[in-house]
Amino acid sequence: MSAKILDGNALAKAIRAGLARDAAAFQAAAGRPPGLSVILVGEDPASAVYVGHKEKAAREAGFASAVVRLPATASEAEVLDRIAAMAADRAVDGMLVQLPLPKQVDPLAVQRAIPPAKDVDGFHPVNAGMLLLGQKGGFVPCTPLGVMALLDEAEIPLKGAEAVVVGRSTIVGKPVAQLLLDRHATVTIAHSRTRDLAAVCRRADVLVAAAGVPGLVRGAFVKPGAAVIDVGINRITDAAQAEDLLAGQPERLEKFRKNGHALVGDVHFGEAAAAAGWITPVPGGVGPLTVALLLRNTLEGARRTEGLPA
Ligand code: NDP
């Protein structure tokens, strides 16, 4: 393996330690901690784990944190009622509704109901619009911020670089592409209809994979020396797929054989690491930064509410 590992756990830990100090300073100035509240609808196990991580990280950094749990049968009106109550609560600086939602609840209605000033996920049309327009003062989605934090920590040059983002979702692909464009990269967004994805990816000095397809990006997709950021988090249970995607990672393969499941990214790590200059692991790459930057957004919102400097 030639690539340097971009260690998301280490960077997230450093960011969270800084936030704990900043949260204490905020509390001293405002007389209350910054507050993050989450609504979780239903019992999706992955969502429960993500919400648990957010709650724990918030508490550890000295934030006030609350989770409202609603049954999977909750109506859209019930969810909107809870959102309205949270929106009116002065102790809540940042709020979000964990996705995915049960089918009777429209995620767009939910995103529009959260006031933009408390929308720390950055999914409200006002915040998405501010990002597109290059206006300061909105919230930028946390996973794209995590991608940029990893690139910046390793001082990977972006100005004039060829960047390829695989995936065009509104929560990852599009905002990542916008942030790279803002930093003067030449950005291509690839998606499921892109012709010859391998050739498009091979142009990239910076390759961001956010497709939700295990091991989509193979070694032959990677330009030698490129920075490869793998946003994908995919749970695999198929043995043949695990033997392929975890090749060269004997300890992880052994664990798979024991447990019958593993988390992998959208990049074939072993193959890509042989060609790349930098690469993120999964788990331990972008994932931990998403939570740390959610807290950073919340603290930013709290400071704005209290009229304190950023
Ligand atoms: P979506 O399913 O919303 O979007 C996936 C995108 O990938 C779509 O634009 C789709 O194209 C494209 N795509 C799918 N298959 C292919 C293919 N074969 N070739 C090229 N492009 C393809 O996913 P998300 O953006 O929400 O998430 C992407 C991944 O990131 C998932 O694994 C998710 O779990 C992970 N994730 C990780 C987070 C973290 O904290 N690290 C946070 C959020 C997500 P099209 O538009 O044409 O359908």
Residue 2 binned pLDDT confidence (cut-offs 50, 70, 90): confident
**Calpha distance 23→288 (Å, rounded):** 19
135 is catalytic: no
Please name the residue that has the structure tokens 């994979």. Answer: 209
**pLDDT averaged over every residue in the chain:** 97
To test ligand 1's pocket by mutation, which of 53, 169, 221 has the most ligand atoms within 8 angstroms of CB? 169
The average pLDDT across 130-144 equals 97
Reading the block at residue 105, the tokens are 């609840």
Average pLDDT for 205-217: 98
Calculate mean pLDDT across residues 91-106: 97
Sequence-distant (≥ 6) Cβ neighbours of residue 167 within 8 angstroms: 173, 189, 190, 191, 208, 209, 210, 211, 212, 231, 266
User: What residues form DSSP beta bridges with 228?
Assistant: 207, 279
64-70 β-sheet, strand order: 64-70, 35-41, 94-97
As for ligand 1, residues whose beta carbon falls within 6 Å of it are 143, 166-169, 171-173, 190-194, 197, 210-213, 216, 231-234, 286-287, 290
What does the alpha-carbon distance between residue 10 and residue 29 come to, in Å, rounded to a whole number?
29
For residues 178-204, average pLDDT? 98
E strand or H helix at 69, and its extent? strand 64-70
Mean pLDDT of 59-88: 98
Give pLDDT, residue 1.
65
pLDDT in tens, 259-268: 999 999 999 9
Q: Which atom of ligand 1 is nearest to the CA of 173?
A: 25
Are 117 and 305 in contact by the 8 Å Cβ rule? The answer is yes
**Average pLDDT of span 29-40:** 98
User: Mean pLDDT across the stretch 20-44?
Assistant: 98
Residue type, 6: L
100 prior amide bond cis, ω within 30: yes
Give the distance, in angstroms, between the CA of residue 129 and the centroid of all CA atoms in the same chain.
Answer: 19
Count of C-beta atoms within a 10 Å radius of residue 81:
13
Across the range 269-284, mean pLDDT stands at 97
pLDDT > 90: percent of the chain: 99
Q: Where are the domains of the chain?
A: 30-115, 142-286
The reply to whether domains 30-115 and 142-286 share a CATH topology is: yes
111 is catalytic: no
By residue count, the chain amounts to 310
What CATH number is given for 30-115 in this structure? 3.40.50.10860
Q: How far apart are CA 98 and CA 96, in angstroms?
A: 6
Catalytic site residue from 22, 93, 98, 223: 98
Atom of ligand 1 nearest to the CA of 191: 21
Average pLDDT, stretch 69-97? 98
Q: What is the mean pLDDT of residues 195-213?
A: 98
Tokens of 140: 């930028």
Q: Which of 47, 98, 229, 231 most suits a substitution to test ligand 1, by most atoms within 8 Å of the C-beta?
A: 231
Find the catalytic residue in 22, 93, 121, 230: 121
Fold of 142-286: Rossmann fold (3.40.50)
